[in-house]
Structure 1
Amino acid sequence: MAAVSSLARRRSAGPVGSATRGTTHPNRLRRMDRWITDAHGTALRRSADPVAVDLGYGASPWTAVELLARLRRVRTDAAVVGVEIDPERVAAAAAYARDGLTFARGGFEVPLAGRRPLLIRAANVLRQYDEDGVAAVWERLCGRLAPDGLLVEGTCDEIGRRHVWVALGPEGPRTVTFATRLGSLSAPSDLAERLPKALIHRNVPGEAVHAFLRDFDRAWAAAAPYAAYGARQRWTTAVSALGADWPLADGRRRWRQGEVTVRWEAVAPRGW
């Protein structure tokens, strides 16, 4: 497999990247999609060309089908293009094409015939690549966005209970969101195994993301008495305490969904 940095720099007629493992389960990306429609809803409603890309949707097109349905709750004429590097996956997905949903072969070059997507969602795509190539891929994908576009790149478990993603605009990374099914959580650091590629190897002493998860665990432990009122109350109490020391980018309404979003610069890897 070629290094992702080389792939990101390559200029050729063929797709840029490598096929993912392709594991797909229905409703796997619900937490990410729910956040997207909330955080990016205003841009979606205002856009003259509300097209989104589901990049690397996998062996089955469920995530692209679901993304269209969720975006259309915000914008009824939203469109989704599912992009996959494996031609057999693209051919298999054709049966699911419909008004507003198409499929194309491609990779990090995002082949949209000159259109600039309002959204690129890349879930569970970069985990197979080298960490030192992530920045180049992010730069390439951000360069394809519309001026008010958003790239959401992250990782989740097989059934979508735990998910961490980075949100990026055309200028680069903005925030990191941690999202979980609260009933499955023993401590916030359980989410460490789902950190995106840019962060997963940085969960070590001396790195900011390690300090963030350490402080989150301490706040969670201090909020243990609130567990008597439910996991949601314990989570919101812990997140509220965490906000005293970390620049959180959301509020209680999102915390109640089992989420917390922190500014990228607060948890970025050393030397980024």
Structure 2
Amino acid sequence: MTPRATTRPPARPRPGGTPPVVGTVTRGTTNPNRLRRMDRWIAVTHGAELRRAADPVAVDLGYGAAPWTAVELLARLRAVAPRARVVGVEIEPARVAAARPYERDGLAFRHGGFEVPVERRPHLIRAANVLRQYDEDEVAAVWARLCARLAPADPAAGSRGGLLVEGTCDEIGRRHVWVALGPEGPRTVTFATRLGSLERPSDLAERLPKALIHRNVPGEPVHAFLRDFDRAWAAAAPYAAYGARQRWIRAVRDLTADWPVTDRQTRWRQGEVTVRWEALAPRG
């Protein structure tokens, strides 16, 4: 990323000729179990890629003031890919020093930013709540930089390459929206929520990632999607007698008539729905 001088400090050089640290210190807000919905989705949708790799490396980029999310990511990935390793990367040196006592087999912490200072190209980069403080017009460059660091696709081996998962959630992980990107660029957008906390699907709009949050206005695809989702949710109100999960499933099933939903009922039951990026991408 090439930050604008008016809003971002220049990349900070490091001794020894290593690449400079790229990015800006975040607030560092974190909580245990905050990213559980994202982690579970990654384990299901990307687990086969991680198992296929000889040395699968995952990066928890911008893990925050405490290392809980990196510790949890390792446990969840190893449940589906026992060889997985996690590297927590933070731009604030004090946070790296505080995390070092938590290092163990398969878990390490390093100082860095969007340059992603790991030796091997990672098979996963998770960047949760990192771009929230950036400007919308900076997102594409950050995405491109991170995607260029991913493990490449290998069609002969049936591999689509590494995965970047970038998105936003609330403080205790009840509501998430994230974009999944491969080496080629954006693939999908996933909406995930604790259904008992939801009044209507458009409540998730406040957790749209930076690339979409300012596009929730009439005339933009993401606004139309959330409008249609609310209508489907209202039409599914009779299913509320069987619980919020059944209402969500019915609403998502109705959405599939007009929107390219990519997942199935097994994920809908978790309070998720995933849509192709092209359907929600900002106009222009």
Q: Could you say whether these structures have the same fold, taking a TM-score greater than 0.5 normalized by the shorter chain as the test? A: yes
- Given candidates 146, 149, 157, the residue that maps to 2:151 is 146
In the TM superposition, what is the alpha-carbon distance from 1:7 to its structure 2 partner?
6.8
- Given candidates 96, 99, 102, the residue that maps to 2:105 is 99
Number of the residue aligned with 1:170 = 183
Change (3 A) 1:7 1:135: farther
Change (3 A) 1:102 1:30: same
Tell me, yes or no, if structure 1 residue 181 matches structure 2 residue 194: yes
Counterpart-to-counterpart distance in 1, 2:184 and 2:196: 36
Q: Is the 8 A contact 1:5 1:132 kept in 2?
A: no
Q: Can you list the C-alpha shifts for 1:77-130, whole angstroms capped at 9, x where unaligned?
A: 2100000000000000001000000000000000013x1000000000000000
Number of the residue aligned with 2:255 = 242
Q: Can you list the C-alpha shifts for 1:20-56, whole angstroms capped at 9, x where unaligned?
A: 1001100000000000000001101101221100000
Number of the residue aligned with 2:66 = 60
Counterpart-to-counterpart distance in 1, 2:80 and 2:212: 31
Q: Is the 8 A contact 2:12 2:21 kept in 1?
A: no
- Given candidates 50, 71, 78, the residue that maps to 1:72 is 78
Counterpart-to-counterpart distance in 2, 1:172 and 1:151: 9
Identity %: 79
In the TM superposition, what is the alpha-carbon distance from 1:238 to its structure 2 partner?
0.1
Counterpart-to-counterpart distance in 2, 1:8 and 1:39: 36
In the TM superposition, what is the alpha-carbon distance from 1:5 to its structure 2 partner?
11
Aligned length: 269
Q: Where do residues 184-203 of structure 1 align in structure 2 (5 Å cutoff)?
A: 184-203=197-216
Tell me, yes or no, if structure 1 residue 119 matches structure 2 residue 161: no
Q: Is the 8 A contact 2:11 2:23 kept in 1?
A: no
Secondary structure at the counterpart of residue 149 of structure 2: coil
Unmatched runs of 5 consecutive residues or more in structure 1: none
Number of the residue aligned with 1:32 = 38
Amino acid at match of 2:242: Y
Q: Is the 8 A contact 1:25 1:62 kept in 2?
A: yes
Counterpart-to-counterpart distance in 1, 2:143 and 2:111: 19
Unmatched runs of 5 consecutive residues or more in structure 2: 14-18, 153-160
Amino acid at match of 1:214: R
Tell me, yes or no, if structure 1 residue 86 matches structure 2 residue 92: yes
Q: Can you list the C-alpha shifts for 1:184-219, whole angstroms capped at 9, x where unaligned?
A: 000000000000000000000000000000000000
Amino acid at match of 1:17: G
Counterpart-to-counterpart distance in 1, 2:235 and 2:124: 38
Change (3 A) 1:9 1:35: farther
